[in-house]
């Protein structure tokens, strides 16, 4: 499973749960520090 998140706005909150086989891709995130 691949999760792709596009066009995150500065105040956006995205919650996600990943297991060892999951990957997340965040494109065009204006506040990358929210994804640590």
pLDDT in tens, 1-30: 667 776 666 666 666 666 556 666 666 656
Q: What is the pLDDT of residue 23?
A: 66
Per the CB < 8 A criterion, the answer to whether 4 and 16 are in contact is no
Is residue 28 within 8 Å of residue 5, measured between CB atoms?
Answer: no
| Strand ranges for 1-36 from DSSP E | 2-6, 23-27
Q: How much is the pTM?
A: 0.21
Whole-number pLDDT of residue 32: 55
Both tokens of 35, joined, read 């994804």
For residue 22, what are its two tokens? 């999951």
């Amino acid at each position: 499973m691949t999760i792709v998140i596009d066009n995150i706005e500065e105040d956006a909150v995205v919650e996600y749960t990943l297991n060892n086989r999951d990957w997340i891709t965040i494109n065009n995130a204006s506040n990358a520090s929210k994804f640590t």
